[in-house]
Amino acid sequence: MSKLRPDYPRTGRSGLRRWLPSWRQLLLLATGGIALLAVAAVVMYIRTDIPKDLNAFATQQNNVFYWADGTEMARTGLVNRQDVPLDQVPEHVQWAVLAAENENFYSDPGISFKGIARAFYRMGSGGDTQGGSTITQQYVKNAYLNQRQNFSRKLDEAFIAIKLDQQVRKQDILSGYLNISWFGRGSYGIERAAQAYYGKDVSQLDASEGAFLAAVLKGASLYDPALGGENRDRAVERWAWILDRMVKIGKLSAEERARYTVFPEPQAPPQQAGLRGQTGYLVDLAKSYAQSHADISPAQFDLGGYQIYTTFEKPRQTALTQAVQDAAKNLDPEHRPADQNVHLGAASVNADGRILAVYGGPDYLKQGFNNANTVNVPAGSAFTPLVYAAGLDQGVQRERQRPRAPVQPTTSYNGDNGIDLQTPEGPYWARDGKKAKAANDGERSWGPISLRTAVEQSVNGPMQQLGMDVGLDNVRKSALGFGLLPDSMGDLTPGFSLGNSTPSAIRLADAYTAFGGQGMRTDPYSVDRISRNGADLAVERPTAVRAVPVRVATDVDNALRGAVKDGTGKEVGQAVPGAAGKTGVNQARTAGWFVGYRGAVTTAVSLFRMDPKTLELLPLAGVAGAAPTTPDYTVPAGIWTAYTKAAG
């Protein structure tokens, strides 16, 4: 046997041992593999060049938003960036960033072998690829490469980082990193971040403020308190961890750390002047949809250059805004306490899911939150058509051991006020130990009444009992099928059927599109297409789904047409022929609604008062000088009517 030929399969062995390599062969194979990898690494290192040009921040543009007809609506998103020399960044701020991101920055070779191995493992297993990169690697990614996470980009990042570390001073790398990193609020670079969060130059930041800016580097969408949710809790936790980390690595004394016990609250983000009036609400909706349905990160969006073609129709937006503003002229907060802190919201949605117009508030620059997209206003009796639909679709079960029985629009229920509400097991006992009872508006008793008439006349008792007979959990599932969001669902008590849920005007309008659309509905959306550099981007568009069978949608549609013909909304029907809709109030009299449609367009209008400090809803009695007995849906119904007549 030639000495150059490996002894494999092994001679002198039999069975399985003949095919098992010896330890020498394994060692030779491992040594050869390592040598090949080393040679490949050397070749890749030699062939890797540091790109000559940074990613061109200077060439980035505004984001341009367009109306549905293609005309320009707004421009936002110029890159907010200003370079500062490293010596103008206080050392305690520099070390706050290094403690959070890369404490061994000044001694590492530009890469983290453990971090790279972990990133490759996560990519191979389909997990998150973020984290574990050195400052140098992050700088290379931000300055020279794209943001995609794949093996090729990660290898390029590693080899460029190694070369850059050998050819450029650490201080210059850190300076570049701090000047091009994204900190949220449209800010690239630590100088603009200092202005955006604290209204001061970076040179004026203390270690505590620097620790917060280091925290938002990990993701402003998770750590900027202004974005709500659990962001503040996360920010406080990471801020404290960074300060403690600075003490541990010897860059902050324990005495100084002891002085930083109060979280340095950042200032509220400034609003852009071009977003005044209703424009800001529209831009926010479109921006949110683009970022969640077009794979555009907040950082990429802030770099700009996107053309966002929205679904908003300018004539409808003008008509809706005018209708609300005309109604608001009847408010006199200076002389009538009941008119103080009044809010109006409205949303108009097409049957195919396109959001056509919204009214979010008096002015986006004065009130940032969107009344049309808020989820703290009870739907009240505007929710009852969904209960009615659930009953017609699923039937009822009045006794536990009996099968479910179908109900029809003509099915009779007891419409008297104050009757006990029943479950299949017997009376429903409330938490106060008393039997739950039907509660009709004005405590009126109607006697035997059909379900359709109960919807048309907004009689609460039959709807409450129908919800109990269908099963409140089943009603909830049905409401989710109409597109209402889980977080807006109310408690499963008898009040659930009377609208203790708090869907936004956008979602409630979209839910009603199923009644005029033969049971089909599409999730609401605000962006038709997006392009950048002349190329269209993929945008996820919702597809139509069936909420209820055709027969159920037809029955509910008939009831809603009856409601504006002879029911609580008859004034609307007299003014707008061919309309269908439902008035809505809640038992606490803190919300008034009108939701209706004519043709393919459904519009929901809400009225509520809210304490600006506690955010608690306040009673509506007496709003706009109305008599105490005036229904709370009167103003929303008037807005709906004026808008629908103007919009055509």
Q: How far apart are CA 548 and CA 470, in angstroms?
A: 15
Q: Is the pLDDT of residue 564 over 80?
A: yes
User: Which residue has 């005044």 as its token pair?
Assistant: 276
Q: At 347, which helix (H) or strand (E)?
A: strand 342-350
**Could you tell me the pLDDT band of residue 300, with boundaries at 50, 70 and 90?**
confident
In contact, 593 and 606? CB cutoff 8 Å:
yes
Distance between CA atoms of residues 307 and 76, nearest Å: 11
230: amino acid identity, one letter: E
Read off the pLDDT of each residue in 637-643 and give the average, rounded to a whole number.
98
Quickly list DSSP for 448-480.
EEEHHHHHHTT-HHHHHHHHHHH-HHHHHHHHH
Percent of the chain with pLDDT strictly greater than 90:
70
Q: How many contiguous H segments (helices) and E segments (strands) does the chain have?
A: 23, 20
**Residue 128: what pLDDT?**
43
Beta strands 63-66 and 72-76, pairing class: antiparallel
Give SS3 for 441.
Answer: helix
Q: How far apart are CA 631 and CA 572, in angstroms?
A: 14
pLDDT reading at 303 higher than 90: no
Q: What average pLDDT score do residues 351-376 get?
A: 95
Q: Tell me the C-alpha distance between 69 and 72, whole Å.
A: 9
What is the per-residue pLDDT for 17? 61
* Mean pLDDT of the 274-286 span: 94
**Segment 389-432, tens digit of pLDDT:** 999 999 999 988 889 999 999 999 999 999 999 999 999 998 88
SS3 587: coil
pLDDT in tens, 136-169: 888 888 776 544 444 455 666 777 878 888 888 9
pLDDT, position 48:
47
Average pLDDT along the chain = 88
Does 40 score more than 80 pLDDT?
no
What's the whole-model pTM score? 0.79
Angle in degrees, CA 253, 255, 260, rounded to 5: 95
Judged against a pLDDT cut of 90, whether residue 110 lies above it is answered with no
